[in-house]
Structure 1
């Protein structure tokens, strides 16, 4: 049984407008074929990752994830990307969580270690690559593992690694997002490292914000991939925001609130139409589920 403490999103099928421009059937199949070829190349790349060295591994991971975006017809638009440059010290990178494309986007800009739910390790392509990057896996079905995860994460950060985490704990539709849970921010405090907020947003070719790529409700990863492959002119924006220096927040709750407020400056205000869709979804999907 799922513990009531665990975060749950009200986003569901009602958040997906389904009005976005799409490509023809032949283009969709071409994109899915190209993505499958990227998967094959990534599996072959896994054979050389152990002997590629740190710079070689970073280059391979970046190429694979950028190739996946290109295969799916997604344009990557980055602002403030210098904030993800190598620093020689640990950094906790936090972003809103919308889709399986989140990890693809972040690693396409700057490969890094990540905190991920344990079942991602079994995903094709993403799982092996994220594992090869030295991810810290968390069991989100058990509260007892959380202190150990935070302790391991603090050690990784003290060691000088850049680590990505999605503190909402579940996916939202992209125009609304959840509260940043404070637990993982304790690792940044214990490790004495800054927090770097990153806001992710999807737009269509005409500039309209879209929820279509979001991975919400009970759909499978296959359903989501097929829907993304059908979209025309999808743009994935990565907004790297100013870092929050160590010591700026009194505790982990304040630190989480500062990071969430920074992401909010990019994602809000949400259109009234979306707020109505979210309200309808909240009426039909109990928050405790």
Structure 2
């Protein structure tokens, strides 16, 4: 079947992922598994309360702590203050862990590809949190998704999207798909570009990446079994949609996110793809 114009492709493979001695040891890793499972069970039991901002943020922070993953940056959150609308938060995409890190920083509605809802472990959390899902292989439902995002923004709800449409092993990643930026234009809502960077003992790493034919289980084991892993959330200056179309707004956001990158850490072909569509 021919891929649609919305379908995103990354050259990253499991060969892009750094390994190295995990350092956590079997006993600590098993304790992390148990703590993570217990927190996730509590999140599932929270029911509709998980859709509330404070509850969602607390659960995401707990899950990060359970895995021994540090979190830094954007201490004041990601939503742009002093606006009558929500904020369209756009970030690069490296790992399933991005979702937890961003929700731990700023509780918001997440827009994700439909496969995320089926991921073990994290899928339960994002479904309960009211995530909106999109079919990345087809464009039929895209206009309705954009209208729905615009309505959320107008209501004051912030929305997190990953415009690359797929995961890359590090920053800079792939081209930003433009369609979701139309929601910010329609709602006259600010756009907050955000860079997600992973560090191990303060050195950039691709270890948490979930790319190519790699499995969720393998990525999860690497994260849970590693000491000194942290994620840095860098919030860039907000972009105002006035005077922009979705093409120019997406280009500005991508430039802001990419300028914070650590480059291709393992020889991946960053920037090798054409400009995004949609």
User: Do they superpose with TM above 0.5?
Assistant: yes
CA offsets per residue over residues 97-124 of structure 1, 9 Å max, x none? 0000111011111111111112333445
SS at structure 2 position matched to 1:164: strand
Displacement of 1:183: 1.1
Name the residue aligned to 2:24. 23
Distance 1:83 1:109 in 2: 7
Name the residue aligned to 1:3. 3
The answer to which structure has the higher helix fraction is: 1
Kindly report the root-mean-square deviation, in angstroms, between the aligned alpha carbons of the 2 structures.
Answer: 2.2
Matched, 1:137 2:115: no
Give the stretch that moved more between structures: 63-72 or 118-127.
118-127
Distance 1:225 1:82 in 2: 26
Name the residue aligned to 2:222. 227
SS at structure 1 position matched to 2:156: coil
Say if 1:279 and 1:122 are closer, same or farther in 2 by CA, change over 3 A.
Answer: closer
- Conserved 8 A contact 1:34-1:71: yes
* Paired positions, count: 269
1:63 maps to which of 58, 61, 66 = 58
- Conserved 8 A contact 1:43-1:125: no
1:257 maps to which of 238, 244, 251 = 251
Displacement of 1:248: 4.4
Matched, 1:239 2:234: yes
SS at structure 1 position matched to 2:141: helix
Matched, 1:101 2:97: yes
Matched, 1:212 2:204: no
Name the residue aligned to 2:182. 186
CA offsets per residue over residues 64-107 of structure 1, 9 Å max, x none? 11111011010000136354366542211100000001110111
5+ long unaligned stretches in structure 2 = 273-278
5+ long unaligned stretches in structure 1 = 283-289
